[in-house]
Amino acid sequence: MRRLILVLCMVTSLLACSRPAPTLQPTPFADPADEIRAVVTRYLDAVYHGRAGEAWLMHSRATNQGESFDEFAEVVRIAAELGPRIEILQIDPPEIRGDQASVIVVQRLGPRVSTYMFRLVYEDGFWKIHNPRDLVPQP
């Protein structure tokens, strides 16, 4: 009997180890507004630190269909040169309308203060930046 229990324990362990790991789902924020602000913050961080690939993955499908990655990477390269001089002053509470949202970001580059509206869409279980090309400040 003791051997049977030991064999059952070993088989159970082997089965548990042989199963593929469960796909981790992001933990939803308690408030969608917090999630949207976090997405915009991560996006700006990626752009202003030259991580074009990461920022590209945060775009909606429609945004990426309308632009080439190489052109986007060049815009991110320019933005990254300015990044250390850009100060994010404020990210307003987003306006959410179903699967679409917009949020105002205020930032400073030297003496110039600029306001940008980020548009987002909820796609494939995530808030994605929609049409970001207009949002990179020009020197």
DSSP letters for 67-109 = S-HHHHHHHHHHHHHHGGGEEEEEEPPPEEETTEEEEEEEEEE
Of residues 114, 135, 123, the one with CA closest to residue 43: 135
pLDDT confidence of residue 131: 77
Half-sphere exposure of 29 (CA within 13 A, CB side): 11
Domain ranges of the chain: 29-135
Q: 29-135: what CATH class? A: alpha beta
- The pLDDT tens digits of the residues spanning 77-126 come to 999 999 999 999 999 999 999 999 999 999 999 999 999 999 999 999 99
List the structure tokens of 25. 């789902």
- The pLDDT tens digits of the residues spanning 2-24 come to 433 333 333 333 333 434 433 33
Q: Decide if pLDDT at 132 tops 80.
A: no
pLDDT confidence of residue 89: 96
